[in-house]
Amino acid sequence: MAPSPEDPTVRFRAELLRDRMFYYVQIPEKVTKRLEPFARSGRVSVKGTVGGEAYLGTFLPAGKGRQVLVLNADVRRRAALTVGEAVSLQLAPCAPDLVLVPEDLAARLKAAGLRKTFDALAPSHRKAYLRYLDTAKSPVTRARYLDRVLSRLKGEEPEKRASTSGRKAGWRCPACARWFLREDAPHPCDPVPLSVPFEKRGPEVFALFERVKALLETHGKVTVQVGRDSVALAGRRRLLDVLPRRAWLDLGFWLPRRLEHPRFRRVVTVGMSLHVHFVRVTHESDLDEELRAWLAEAWAHGAPPPDEVASTGWNRPVEDSFFEGLEAL
């Protein structure tokens, strides 16, 4: 059904697809053209229903004028969606900072008298909480995450959970006094040669690394931290992870905000204001302006001295224990 000029709502059906980390639907060309006046940098924020369930998302550019809509685990569960199934969507453009609170969180916020506290947060912080809840893979885990969210909103200290991995909770090097999460973590007291992570990799892979490093160094000096199978480039803090593969590099950009883009193979949330975005680089042509902009943002976040770092608005330190259960790097 075509919308009237006064009504920007669009209705269409599309197949649910999966591409490694993302579940998504492709937006029909006529829908893309219809909502083009509402686009910002090729993106359109939308709200409505997916499979009859309320949903808030963004049409993302996918190249050659195409757009996709990523469907998170929560709406897939509520609408009982499966890959290959045709999905009915009814959507309308909305403000980019709109946040749709899921029913279980809304109920818990109301019962605890915290809805005003939650609504007073910046949209990016509210969305960060929702993304954290979406990482739960079972109702039991989600209930535990809801408890943590409410504790955080109350200003309480996050719960401390005993490690079940058999590893030490932390280790301090007796030589340099630096603290590490794992005893086997690489550090300057036991340096690893740069050649080690590039063993059995082609010379073109190392050449790509050198090119990436040179691009980052156009912004300033970086420190190279070499591990057994990866390399980290750092300023005042970590900027970029480089994972050498057989014929390519996987790059992990450490950014203060979470981005959605088809080029990201996965995005790992480390903290409320810290997200690692992984991109595959196979040829030097992949080091385009878009990727260089992500490099610049990683540098701006991690390299300047403390008095030059822009505030994220998050006014309390993030404890690692609050994010237990997120995908490990």
CA distance 31 to 174: 62
| CB 114 within 8 Å of CB 153 | yes
CA distance 146 to 129: 9
Report in angstroms the alpha-carbon separations of 232 from 118, 177, 227, 229: 36, 20, 8, 10
The predicted pLDDT at position 328 comes to 42
CA distance 106 to 130: 11
pLDDT reading at 49 higher than 50: yes
Q: What is the mean pLDDT of residues 97-125?
A: 89
- Give pLDDT tens digits for 224-251: 888 888 999 988 888 999 999 989 999 9
The predicted pLDDT at position 186 comes to 61
